[in-house]
Amino acid sequence: MQRSIRSFLTAAIPGLLGVSLLFGGFTFMPVVEASSHREAPLISADPLADGTDVYAFISPDRPNSVTILANFIPLEEPASGPNFFKFDDNVLYQIRFDNNGDGRLDLALQFRFRTVVGNPDTFLYNTNTINNLSDPDWNVKQFMDVTARIRQGDPATPTFATFVLGTNLPTPPVNVGPRSTPNYETNLAEPSISSIPTGAGNILVFAGQRDEGFYVDLGSAFDLLGLRPFNAAHLAPLATSNGVDGTAGYNVHTIAIQVPTQLLTRTGALPTGPTDPSAIIGVYSTASRNGTRVLNLDGTKTETGDCFTGMAIAPSATCVQVSRLGNPLFNELFIPQGNPTTTGNDKDLYNAQLPASDVNRQDFVRGTASRPVEPVALTNLLYPPVLDAPTSGRNDLIRVFITGVPGLNRFPFQNDPADPGAGLGSAPAEYIRLNMAIPATAPGSVNRLGVIAGDNAGFPNGRRVGDDVVDIIFRAAAGVLLPGNSCAGGTANCNAAPNNLLGDGVQQNDRPFRSTFPYLASPWGGYENPFHGRECASDTATPCPSPNPTPRP
């Protein structure tokens, strides 16, 4: 990492200083290192810090660049005014990278927000139409600072160089409605995309409200793992029906950044091909809070810690990591609640720890004779027609979530003793792994099922905005990646019906994704949202629109 982003940012000093009004100055100083939606008990009570999804993919419209999206604040109802959703000024949001596979941090991109209220004598978010980012009628504005922290020296006792990439960068208002925020994308969202010059090309950055792009039948999934297209096969059968997108009509807040590829490799050069050891990166997001919060009698609060004074990057007693997210659904499906009176709540502990600690969580994913892989065991139990997949020894799931897939996105430097057939692999750590030398799939040829359908530019090699991670993970749990006759007690191929057809019946997002940065669709406005208002209902002559008119194959 020392040669990569540091060298290019150093070359960019004149450019950064020349646009200081937009992006702030440039500083260098060594310092010492100090999923999903409501996936753990503690973070479910802190939605402004709750990471919901992470995406990492080769930019389809800009070769040799990588786009990372980190979403926070689950299931935002667009009409939630007058105090609309926003990033928390007291949360340190981060996108973090491991570019050599040792499970340790090499680069942290840090995002901090500052809210400015123009007129304190009104309750309104806006006092008239917001036509542009400097409109005085927009009363509650938020600005963003972006900092890069780059590891130096010994991983065991690292120091971190600090580079200020931008200060007081604009963020757009939420999408209130056609009177308040007309022409939302053109007037407000797109002007909020900042371009930061470096010696390797510009970095693009955006932070603001977007449509919730994780499409899933939440209502059925949490009702005893229900899959509506397979309702008749459930142990508690219901009539078969189409999937219902439980996140349709909701928004999230997105931090999006697009980075030239060579800034992320450990060599500072473009990878020579998919087998180049420097081609692979690990990516995850975190959110941290100061260690002490005091609620005052005058309605204010006081926070103390070093999340901002020292710009801490690792969990500590004074800067507590409260959210961590890499692969979708990992904490929900594979990490148990834990016993808070004896061993601590493991879901909350996962959120507070770093990926290197995941070596202790491998059995939750691989399964043992005494502790089966829970989502696999549940699928076997609740769907009798499914060819029972093995509930232990699941090295295929370890490769998807913990070590990487051999020949695809596995760092090549050490063996997994429990998976000798996989060859060399990275340290066990749960995060998204992306092979940056595998080009983006051409538009029109993208397969929503990613790698299991032969589209190697999709999940679990990174994650694109359209990847159907729910169906992919269901089918992987059912054993479609296992060789030979591994299902039904060793008598049947798992990659056969019904195992390779499992899914929730939701086949696309409620809004089409953008083809350019930041790729997620425009957020729903509170006025025009057709999913949550009274203007439509499933039992009236004006039914609510369905983004999924037919069951998925």
How many CB atoms are located within 10 Å of the residue 506 CB? 29
pLDDT, residue 42, reads 84
Would you say 214 and 53 are in contact if contact means Cβ atoms under 8 Å apart? yes
* Cα Rg of the chain (Å, integer): 23
pLDDT score, position 535: 44
Q: Give residue 342's pLDDT band: very low, low, confident or very high (50, 70, 90).
A: low
Residue 533 has what pLDDT? 54
Q: State yes or no: cis peptide before 82, omega within 30 of 0.
A: yes
What pLDDT shows up at residue 8?
A: 57
pLDDT in the model for residue 167: 97
Residue 23: the pLDDT is 30
Where residue 141 falls among pLDDT bands split at 50, 70, 90? very high
pLDDT in tens, 447-497: 999 999 999 999 999 999 999 999 999 999 999 999 999 999 999 999 999
- How does pLDDT run across 292-307, given as a tens digit for each residue? 888 888 888 888 888 8
Mean pLDDT check: name the lowest of 27-41, 217-231, 248-262, 518-532: 27-41
Instruction: Return the HEC string of 27-75.
Output: CCCEEECCCCCCCCCCHHHCHHHCEEEEEEEECCCCCCEEEEEEEEEEE
What's the whole-number average pLDDT of the chain?
87
CA distance 402 to 410: 10
Inform me whether the pLDDT recorded for 424 exceeds 70.
no
CA–CA separation, 186 vs 260, rounded Å? Answer: 25
Distance of CA 464 to the CA centre of its chain: 10
Q: How far is CA 453 from CA 27, 438, 477, 483, in A?
A: 46, 16, 15, 16
Distance between CA atoms of residues 155 and 105, nearest Å: 8
Q: What percentage of the chain carries pLDDT values higher than 90? A: 71
According to the model, what pLDDT value does residue 31 have? 29
**Higher local confidence (pLDDT), 73 or 317:** 73
> Among 20-24, 46-50, 325-329, 488-492, which stretch is predicted with the lowest mean pLDDT?
20-24
Q: What amino acid occupies position 319?
A: C
Is omega for the bond preceding 197 within 30 degrees of 0, making it cis?
A: no
What counts of helices (H) and strands (E) characterise the chain? Answer: 11, 17
Q: How many alpha carbons lie under 13 Å from residue 387 in its C-beta half-sphere?
A: 23
DSSP 201: B
Q: How confident is the model at residue 16 (pLDDT cuts 50, 70, 90)?
A: very low
Backbone angles phi, psi at 469, to 5 degrees: -65, -25
Query: To 10 degrees, what angle do helices 374-382 and 469-477 make?
Result: 80
Report yes or no: 155 and 128 within 8 Å, Cβ to Cβ: no
Is-contact 447 458, C-beta < 8 A? yes
SS3 assignment, position 475: helix
For 507-533, what is the mean pLDDT?
91
Question: Which of these ranges, 22-31, 92-101, 138-147, 434-443, has the smallest mean pLDDT?
Answer: 22-31
Give which of 523, 524, 522, 515 is closest to 67, Cα–Cα. Answer: 515
**Is residue 256 very low, low, confident or very high in pLDDT (cuts 50, 70, 90)?**
very high
Is a pLDDT exceeding 60 seen at residue 534? no
Structure tokens of 189? 């969202």
Predicted model pTM: 0.90
Residue-wise pLDDT for 153-198, tens only, equals 776 677 888 999 999 999 999 999 999 999 999 999 999 999 999 9
- pLDDT of res. 14: 35
**What mean pLDDT is predicted for residues 265-279?**
94
Q: End-to-end distance of the chain based on CA atoms, in angstroms?
A: 44
pLDDT band at 310 (very low <50, low <70, confident <90, very high): low
User: Which pLDDT score, from 0 to 100, does residue 345 have?
Assistant: 80
**pLDDT score of 33:** 29
pLDDT, average across residues 355-378: 93
Position 343, amino acid: T
Judged by phi (left if over 0) then psi (alpha if -120 to 50, else beta), residue 299 lies in left
How many Å apart are CA 22 and CA 288, to the nearest integer?
A: 26
Q: How large is the average pLDDT for residues 382-394?
A: 97
Residue with the two structure tokens 């009509």: 249
- Quick one: average pLDDT of 228-251? 95
Q: In three state form, how does the secondary structure of 309-348 look?
A: CCCCCCCCCCEEEEEEECCCCHHHHHCCCCCCCCCCCHHH
Give me the pLDDT at residue 495, please. Answer: 97
The arithmetic mean of pLDDT across residues 212-224, rounded, is 94
Report residue 5's pLDDT band, with 50, 70 and 90 as the boundaries. Answer: low
